[in-house]
């Protein structure tokens, strides 16, 4: 997978993990790009640099694309830090998600044409660059009638939200779900997709000075209830659940005490799906929640889902999500658009607490 990423110029002669080499000669001068590259793992602000990149020549099955916009996600940061489950060969271009416009296609490419929009089919393409030459098989076409920021943030977070809502419990309209970090990109997608499916949501966020503003914003997306982590621990929650159905599904991307609270409020035989660990603390469940509530603890990783399914199934999901977008039921998360050259601002903001805005690099 990593060999398919356009490599920094000085690496072009080195074979990638699949043993492929970038073609060594071309009749045309090689196309150039600007890219955010890291040569070693470490603190993103220290190891990421904006560099010139020579693109490999267009092969028969390749697509040359102009990357339009690419978000900074927690997984991108963890990859740079060297703590993510999959790590690229170094040096690597950062970024796993984004949307590009096709500029040119190789003679064997059948699925897209110049002008079309594409997104990565999986992690690891290195999207933080102005242009790239990438194999057709690792890109998926997306309709270009959806907003740019929706397309740039479509392939990971809304997909994760959609799968977790559909694949773990058979939920019916009127059923409830509970989630922490409800203001995250995934959380905002969960709120909107759940509302579109008629599900009732309990959304947990961390307390902050401008809490009411955040609560109003999440309610504007369709959140039924928003509580702080502290409120979730109060005895008054017992009264709340006298008039509200206990959740059948809990979605956890925090861990630690926050996930213990989700489990405590989960209904009998409900499922908690862990998909992230922002607090870097283990998930702890009480013995009684297993014995008396028979809860189920599961995990989800979008990359694994994609590996286990066909590209056709991924494309079907993308088209279903585009339908939500067109119907006004799914919007992009709150975003800050940052020009590529100001990448340090975006990296810094993406690692700060309480920012509540997805940093999007605009190429
Ligand atoms: N398993 C998968 O396939 C998959 C797919 C997508 C995302 N994820 C994971 O899902 C999580 C959210 O991703 P995203 O792109 O939606 O994130 P995001 O938009 O960047 O938002 C980050 C969220 O994490 C919260 N947070 C940060 N540090 C925290 C801490 N120490 N304790 C509690 N909350 C904390 C933030 O809350 P504040 O506003 O309070 O700072 C914010 O709600 C990440 O862990 C990511 O790796 C997993």
DSSP letters of 83-147?
-SSS-PPSSEE--S--EEEEEEE-TT--S--TT-EEEESSS-S---BSEEEEEGGGEEEE-TTS-
Q: Identify whether residues 188 and 238 lie together within a single domain.
A: yes
Q: Identify whether residues 128 and 8 lie together within a single domain.
A: yes
Ligand 1 within 6 A of CB of 160: yes
pLDDT of residue 150: 98
Q: In the structure, how many helices (H) and strands (E) does the chain have?
A: 13, 16
Q: What residues are paired with 62 via a beta bridge?
A: 135
Torsional sign, CA 351, 352, 357, 361: negative
Q: Identify whether residues 193 and 271 lie together within a single domain.
A: yes
Tell which atom from ligand 1 comes closest to the C-alpha of 205: 40
Q: Report the CATH number at residue 243.
A: 3.40.50.720
Q: Identify whether residues 115 and 175 lie together within a single domain.
A: no
* Strands 335-339, 358-362: pairing kind: parallel
Please tell me the residue having the least CA distance from ligand 1 atom 2: 301
Ligand 1 within 6 A of CB of 305: no
Tokens representing 192 are 């909107």
Prior bond to 225 cis, omega within 30?
Answer: no
Residue at 178 is within a domain: yes
Q: Report the CATH number at residue 9.
A: 3.90.180.10
Q: Identify whether residues 12 and 43 lie together within a single domain.
A: yes
pLDDT of residue 32: 85
Burial degree of 197 (CB within 10 A; 0-12, 13-18, 19+): middle
d(CA 346, CA 71): 9
Ligand 1 within 6 A of CB of 354: yes
Q: Identify whether residues 161 and 148 lie together within a single domain.
A: no
216, 145 in Cβ contact below 8 A? no
CA of 118 to the centre of ligand 1 (A): 25
User: Which spans in the chain are helix H?
Assistant: 44-47, 74-81, 148-152, 157-167, 185-196, 211-221, 229-232, 237-240, 256-265, 287-291, 302-308, 311-326, 343-351
Residue 116 CB: number of other CB atoms within 10 A?
A: 18
Residue at 336 is within a domain: yes
Which residues are catalytically annotated?
Answer: 84
Residue at 271 is within a domain: yes
- If one counts the domains in the chain, the total is 2
Which pLDDT tens digits describe the chain residue by residue (363 residues)?
Answer: 333 343 333 333 333 333 223 333 345 666 789 999 999 999 999 999 999 999 999 999 999 999 999 999 999 999 999 999 999 999 999 999 999 999 999 999 999 999 999 999 989 999 999 999 999 999 999 999 999 999 999 999 999 999 999 999 999 999 999 999 999 999 999 999 999 999 999 999 999 999 999 999 999 999 999 999 999 999 999 999 999 999 999 999 999 999 999 999 999 999 999 999 999 999 999 999 999 999 999 999 999 999 999 999 999 999 999 999 999 999 999 999 999 999 999 999 999 999 999 999 999
Q: Identify whether residues 279 and 183 lie together within a single domain.
A: yes
Residue at 67 is within a domain: yes
Residue at 24 is within a domain: yes
Residue at 322 is within a domain: no
Q: Identify whether residues 266 and 352 lie together within a single domain.
A: no
- CA distance readout (Å), 231 to 50, 143, 204, 225, 339: 44, 42, 9, 12, 39
Tell which atom from ligand 1 comes closest to the C-alpha of 214: 39
Query: Taking the model in full, what pTM does it have?
Result: 0.92
Ligand 1 within 6 A of CB of 274: no
* For helices 157-167 and 185-196, angle between their N-to-C axes, nearest 10 degrees: 50
Residue where a domain stops, chosen among 259, 286, 303: 303
Q: Identify whether residues 106 and 7 lie together within a single domain.
A: yes
Residue at 318 is within a domain: no
Residue at 317 is within a domain: no
Residue 295 CB: number of other CB atoms within 10 A?
A: 22
* Strands 117-120, 99-105: pairing kind: antiparallel
- CA distance readout (Å), 193 to 45, 93, 259: 34, 32, 22
CA of 283 to the centre of ligand 1 (A): 15
Question: What are the contacts of 72-79 at 24+ separation with CB within 8 A?
Answer: 72/346, 72/347, 72/350, 72/358, 72/359, 72/360, 72/361, 73/97, 73/156, 73/157, 73/185, 73/350, 73/358, 74/276, 74/278, 74/350, 75/123, 75/156, 76/128, 77/44, 77/347, 77/350, 77/351
pLDDT of residue 40: 98
d(CA 278, CA 281): 8
Ligand 1 within 6 A of CB of 332: no
Q: Identify whether residues 11 and 145 lie together within a single domain.
A: yes
Q: Identify whether residues 162 and 229 lie together within a single domain.
A: yes
CA of 253 to the centre of ligand 1 (A): 6
* Strands 200-205, 225-228: pairing kind: parallel
Q: Identify whether residues 208 and 96 lie together within a single domain.
A: no
Tell which atom from ligand 1 comes closest to the C-alpha of 160: 5
Domain of residue 72 covers 2-153+332-362
């Amino acid at each position: 997978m990593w060999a398919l990423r356009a490599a920094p110029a000085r690496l072009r002669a080195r074979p990638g993990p699949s043993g492929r080499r970038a073609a060594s000669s071309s009749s045309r001068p090689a196309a150039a790009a600007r890219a955010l590259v890291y040569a070693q793992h470490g603190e993103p602000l220290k190891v990421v640099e904006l560099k010139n990149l020579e693109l490999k020549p267009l092969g028969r099955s390749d697509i040359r694309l102009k990357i339009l916009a690419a978000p900074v996600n927690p997984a991108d940061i963890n990859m740079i830090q060297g703590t993510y489950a999959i790590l690229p060969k170094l040096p690597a271009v950062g970024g796993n998600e984004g949307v590009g416009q096709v500029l040119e296609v190789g003679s064997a490419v059948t699925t897209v044409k110049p002008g079309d929009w594409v997104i990565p089919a999986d992690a690891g393409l290195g999207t933080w660059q102005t242009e790239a030459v990438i194999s057709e098989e690792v890109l998926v076409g997306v309709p270009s009638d959806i907003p740019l920021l929706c397309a740039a943030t479509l392939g990971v977070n809304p997909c994760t939200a959609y799968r977790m809502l559909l694949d773990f419990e058979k939920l019916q309209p009127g059923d409830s779900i509970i989630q922490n970090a409800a203001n995250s990109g995934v959380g905002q997608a969960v709120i909107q997709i759940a509302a579109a499916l008629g599900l009732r949501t309990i959304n947990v966020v961390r307390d902050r000075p401008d809490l009411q503003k955040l609560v109003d914003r999440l309610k504007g997306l369709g959140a039924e209830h928003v509580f702080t982590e502290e409120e979730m621990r109060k005895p008054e929650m017992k009264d709340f659940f006298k008039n509200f159905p206990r959740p059948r599904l809990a979605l956890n991307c925090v861990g630690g005490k926050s996930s213990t609270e989700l489990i405590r409020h989960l209904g009998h035989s409900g499922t908690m799906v862990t998909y992230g660990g922002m607090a870097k603390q283990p998930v702890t469940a009480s013995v009684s929640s297993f014995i008396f509530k028979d809860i189920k603890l599961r995990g989800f990783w979008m990359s694994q889902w994609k590996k286990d399914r066909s590209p056709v199934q991924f494309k079907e999901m993308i088209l279903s999500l585009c339908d939500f977008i067109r119907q006004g039921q799914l919007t992009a998360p709150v975003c800050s658009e940052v020009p590529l050259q100001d990448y340090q601002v975006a990296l810094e903001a993406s690692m700060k607490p309480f920012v509540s805005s997805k940093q999007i690099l605009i190429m």
